[in-house]
Structure 1
Amino acid sequence: MLKFVKGPLESIDGVEIYPIISLLIFFIFFTALFWWVITAKKDYIKYVSRMPLDFDTDEESHNNQKTDLS
């Protein structure tokens, strides 16, 4: 299986840089995400965690308002 992937890639000049770039993108993204999680304000995290629950109650009250107008 590996020869089907490795064979065509050997003929491309400079192909060895792509795994290094991929690793750097992966590392930078998750380092930045980790830093954001550590420095995020606790109030914002609580607000965002309640959003799905608040959406359901907002939708129900919105539907009730529609029926009251009819």
Structure 2
Amino acid sequence: MYKNVLQAIEGIEIYPLISFTIFFLFFLGLLVYVALMDKKYVSNMSSFACGDDEEEQTIGGNIQ
């Protein structure tokens, strides 16, 4: 039933192409953004990873 409804719409075949193009361009843009990122910034952000030994974790204000 739904297949017949979609076949009846004129110009429907362009929508999958448009969707794929948007999807592809988004991830291509994201890849370019990551590739051109400042390496010092990335290195600095990687030092903020979970489990920093220098900082003591507190729970409810008490040092554990």
TM score, norm. by length of structure 1: 0.61
- For 1:59 and 1:5, how far apart are their aligned partners in 2? 59
Give the structure with the larger helix fraction.
1
The answer to whether structure 1 residue 22 and structure 2 residue 13 are counterparts is: no
Deviations 1:5-58 (A, max 9, x none): 643310222211211111110121111111111110111212333333267865
**Number of corresponding residues:** 63
- Matched position secondary structure for 2:21: helix
Q: Percent identity?
A: 35
Greater relative contact order, per chain length (Cα 8 Å cut-off, separation 6+): 2
What are structure 1's unaligned runs of at least 5 residues?
Answer: none
1:67 corresponds to which residue? 62
State the alpha-carbon separation in 2 of the partners of residues 50 and 8 from structure 1.
Answer: 55
Stretches of structure 2 that go unaligned for 5 or more consecutive residues are none
Instruction: Give the TM-score normalised by structure 2.
Output: 0.64
Higher strand share: 2
Root mean square deviation, CA, Å: 3.2
